[in-house]
Amino acid sequence: MGAASPLLERDPSKGGRPRTYPLREVIDSLLYVLRGGISWRAMPHDLPPWDNVYDHFRRWKRDGTLEKIHDALRAEVRIKDGREPTPSAVIIDSQLVKTTENGGSVASMAASS
């Protein structure tokens, strides 16, 4: 699993019950839901049960694991591209959106019947 692998390994000192489904299947299922934009309950039955995958997602989101995985993968891609692992500058682009001439509300007139 590359850079994300150590972030998902179980800490043996914390104990807990053994995994019911292989971690790879859980991650593949999570990506299936996120990429497809489907609801958790609409997951195909050949994947682990939706509530098991959702429990992993919720726990990883809450404890910051998903953000750590994102950061590790970003650094790995940047290194492969021959760049520094972390960006050194940020570019912020903004757009000027003109609403009205006088700055008032656009929909301020009542509709005529």
Asked whether residue 48 is assigned to any structural domain, the reply reads: yes
Asked whether residue 10 is assigned to any structural domain, the reply reads: no
Lowest mean pLDDT among 4-13, 68-77, 104-113: 104-113
Asked whether residue 7 is assigned to any structural domain, the reply reads: no
Asked whether residue 99 is assigned to any structural domain, the reply reads: no
What predicted TM-score, i.e. pTM, was given to this entire model?
Answer: 0.66
Asked whether residue 64 is assigned to any structural domain, the reply reads: yes
Contact 106, 100 (CB under 8 A): yes
> What is the domain range of residue 63?
22-87
DSSP string covering 44-96, please?
Answer: -TTSSPHHHHHHHHHHHHHTTHHHHHHHHHHHHHHHHTTS-SS-S--------
pLDDT at residue 11, as a whole number: 57
Asked whether residue 113 is assigned to any structural domain, the reply reads: no
Asked whether residue 51 is assigned to any structural domain, the reply reads: yes
Least Cα distance to 30 among 22, 73, 80 occurs for 22
Most confident region among 68-72, 84-88, 91-95 by mean pLDDT: 68-72
Q: Report the phi/psi class of residue 64: left, alpha or beta, with left for phi > 0 and alpha for psi in -120 to 50.
A: left
How confident is the model over 15-40, as pLDDT tens digits?
677 888 999 999 999 999 999 999 99
Asked whether residue 111 is assigned to any structural domain, the reply reads: no
Number of domains into which the chain is organized: 1
